[in-house]
């Protein structure tokens, strides 16, 4: 059995993590041993390795916060999904591994006939896109939404979810080469100083009331310039590495609202029933192929350094996923 472990953090995330052999302790009551089928590498995982994320586990730690697995053994007197069941791995168990041990009561059964790679990305990016579309502005079919970083995994999910709900989308990317990787968008535009003029021309001067920002820096203000009076701009990341910049004119003359979104806080506040409802809807969409993410490459746990290096690079056209070879 292997797992990707790190004992330090640093600016080069691939340098601090390595695959190590391990033998799990015998299972006790309430525990389950799971074979990991797939586990993605998210931007938050990379920031955790560099020490820049908002919540850092104590060291040493195992990489990976989400994934999907198969029950291979239950502890004595343990009630849980049966052996052989495909399950969603609990958040934060260290999913970049061939096997993990988890609390059997926290395992969520998933459709066994769905693609495990797509199911493995269920916990973080799809609910982020789902909740940002749902919880900040009440939208109706035909309404417009604008987002930057649209070639990201969250961006792809957001476009697909918007299309399913009948919303129209403007997808902003930072380079020409990223245009081809954006799918399910009504308009795709490269960011720039005159963004608001080009968006107005492309949408027929539509009144856009919701903006989604994952870049921060000056890009935040460029999105703000595209919003209608009274609009809401939601930031959930800082791909630029900078703080959000919004001109006073956007607040004063357009009465815009700038909000932040972090899925961790939603998990803390949402009831189990609310979480079940959200993940049930998303899981059904993934299982039926209506919601998916582009995958750039898959790697074995033994190749964790190469996998993290690729995930941390800026020229990807899809997600990097760990698919352990057992």
Residue among 75, 50, 52, 49 nearest 62 (CA):
49
Contacts of 88 (CB under 8 A, 6+ apart): 68, 107, 108, 110, 119, 122, 123, 279, 283
In CATH, what number is assigned to the domain containing residue 187? 3.40.50.720
In a domain? residue 281 = no
Residue among 159, 84, 118 nearest 284 (CA):
118
Residues 237 and 194 grouped into a single domain: yes
Q: Is the peptide bond before 75 cis (omega within 30 degrees of 0)?
A: no
In a domain? residue 272 = no
Residues 93 and 130 grouped into a single domain: no
**Spatial separation of the C-alpha atoms in residues 275 and 268, rounded to whole Å:** 10
Task: Label the pairing between strands 108-109 and 86-88.
Answer: antiparallel
In a domain? residue 283 = no
pLDDT digits (tens, 9 = 90+) for 94-142: 999 999 999 999 898 888 888 999 999 998 899 999 999 999 999 999 9
Q: How many CB atoms lie within 10 A of CB 257?
A: 14
Residues 173 and 256 grouped into a single domain: yes
Residues 141 and 242 grouped into a single domain: yes
Residues 113 and 19 grouped into a single domain: yes
| Residue range of the domain that includes 106 | 2-121+293-322
Residues 106 and 157 grouped into a single domain: no
Residues 73 and 19 grouped into a single domain: yes
pLDDT at 181: 86
pLDDT at 202: 97
pLDDT digits (tens, 9 = 90+) for 184-214: 899 999 999 999 999 999 999 999 999 999 9
Q: Is the pLDDT of residue 30 over 90?
A: yes
Residues 130 and 113 grouped into a single domain: no
Residues 129 and 260 grouped into a single domain: yes
In a domain? residue 271 = no
Q: How many domains does the chain have?
A: 2
In a domain? residue 273 = no
Q: Is the pLDDT of residue 314 over 80?
A: no
In CATH, what number is assigned to the domain containing residue 103? 3.90.180.10
User: Which residues are catalytically annotated?
Assistant: 53
Across 76-163, where does the E strand assignment appear? 86-88, 99-103, 108-109, 144-148
pLDDT band at residue 318 using 50, 70 and 90 as cut-offs: confident
Residues 65 and 182 grouped into a single domain: no
pLDDT digits (tens, 9 = 90+) for 221-267: 999 999 999 999 999 998 888 999 999 988 899 999 999 999 989 99
Residues 237 and 315 grouped into a single domain: no
Contact in structure between 63 and 96 (CB atoms under 8 Å): yes
Phi and psi at residue 279, to the nearest 5°:
-70, -30
Residues 60 and 191 grouped into a single domain: no
DSSP 88: E
pLDDT band at residue 22 using 50, 70 and 90 as cut-offs: very high
In a domain? residue 317 = yes
In a domain? residue 73 = yes
In a domain? residue 80 = yes
Across the chain, where does the E strand assignment appear? 2-6, 17-21, 31-41, 61-62, 68-74, 86-88, 99-103, 108-109, 144-148, 168-173, 187-190, 210-213, 232-235, 257-260, 295-299, 319-322
């Amino acid at each position: 059995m292997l797992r990707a472990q790190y004992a330090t953090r640093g600016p080069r995330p691939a340098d601090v993590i390595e695959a190590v052999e391990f033998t799990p302790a015998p299972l006790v009551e309430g525990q389950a041993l799971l074979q990991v089928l797939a586990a993605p590498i998210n931007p938050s995982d990379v920031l955790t390795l560099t020490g820049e994320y908002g919540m850092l586990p104590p060291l040493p730690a195992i990489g990976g916060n989400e994934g999907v697995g198969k029950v291979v053994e239950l502890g004595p007197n343990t009630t849980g999904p049966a052996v052989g069941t495909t399950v969603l791995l609990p958040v934060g168990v260290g999913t970049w591994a061939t096997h993990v041990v988890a609390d059997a009561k926290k395992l969520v059964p998933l459709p066994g006939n769905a693609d495990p790679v797509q199911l493995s990305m269920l916990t973080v990016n799809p609910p982020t896109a789902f909740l940002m579309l749902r919880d900040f502005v009440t939208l109706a079919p035909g309404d417009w939404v604008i987002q930057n970083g649209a070639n990201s995994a969250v961006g792809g999910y957001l476009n697909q979810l918007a299309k399913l709900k009948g919303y129209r989308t403007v997808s902003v990317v930072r380079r020409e080469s990223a245009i081809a990787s954006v799918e399910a968008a009504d308009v795709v535009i490269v960011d720039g100083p005159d963004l608001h003029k080009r968006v107005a021309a492309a949408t027929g001067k539509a009144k856009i009331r919701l903006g989604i920002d994952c870049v921060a820096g000056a890009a935040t203000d460029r999105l703000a310039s595209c919003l209608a009076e009274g609009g809401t701009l939601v930031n959930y990341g800082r791909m630029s590495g900078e703080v959000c910049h919004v001109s006073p004119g956007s607040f004063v003359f357009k009465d815009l609202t700038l909000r932040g979104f972090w899925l961790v806080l939603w998990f803390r506040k949402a009831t189990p029933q609310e979480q079940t409802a959200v993940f049930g809807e998303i899981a059904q969409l993934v299982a039926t192929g209506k919601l998916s993410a582009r995958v750039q490459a898959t790697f074995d746990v033994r190749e964790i350094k190469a996998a993290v290096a690729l995930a941390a690079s800026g020229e990807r056209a899809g997600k990097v996923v760990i698919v352990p070879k057992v």
